[in-house]
Amino acid sequence: MTTSKTLQVAISNLTIWRKGDQRAPHKPLLLLYVLSEYKKGHGRFFDYGNEIHQPLLDLLTCFGPKRREHYPTMPFWRLQGDGFWELQNTEYCTPQKGTL
């Protein structure tokens, strides 16, 4: 299990997509949402389809860059590479833009 100090360091070193002056807010918004729900008493694991997709899409629409379409699945999947995000049943998943 990850200690709080290890988690703090991992979040501080979060990989965020950048291109010039643009930064993608997807991972930080997802983390803020998940941490706020966890603080309210949610368990360790979330169901993407029932608990993450729509709230993250709403956050991206409100706080993200203006786009025709947002893709909330990608940060959920890509956070695995940051060393503290764990997914279960990945053998049943094929990440694509728009769906997971």
Question: Per residue in 57-75, pLDDT tens?
Answer: 999 999 988 888 888 888 8
Residue 38 tokens, joined: 């966890």
Q: Whole-structure pTM over 0.85, yes or no?
A: no
Q: How many domains does one find in the chain?
A: 1
Q: How confident is the model at residue 96 (pLDDT cuts 50, 70, 90)?
A: low
pLDDT, residue 100, reads 45
Q: At what angle do helices 53-63 and 26-39 cross, to 10 degrees?
A: 130
**Measuring CA to CA, how many Å separate 52 from each of 9, 29, 59, 76?**
24, 11, 11, 9
Residue at 86 is within a domain: yes
Question: What is the pLDDT, as a whole number, of residue 84?
Answer: 81
- The phi, psi pair for 20, rounded to 5°, reads 65, -125
Residue 30's domain spans which residues? 18-92
How does residue 1 score in pLDDT terms, banded at 50, 70 and 90?
low
Question: From CA 77, how far away is CA 55, in angstroms rounded?
Answer: 16
Domain presence at residue 13: no
Q: How far is CA 18 from the centre of its chain?
A: 16
Query: Has residue 97 been placed in a domain?
Result: no
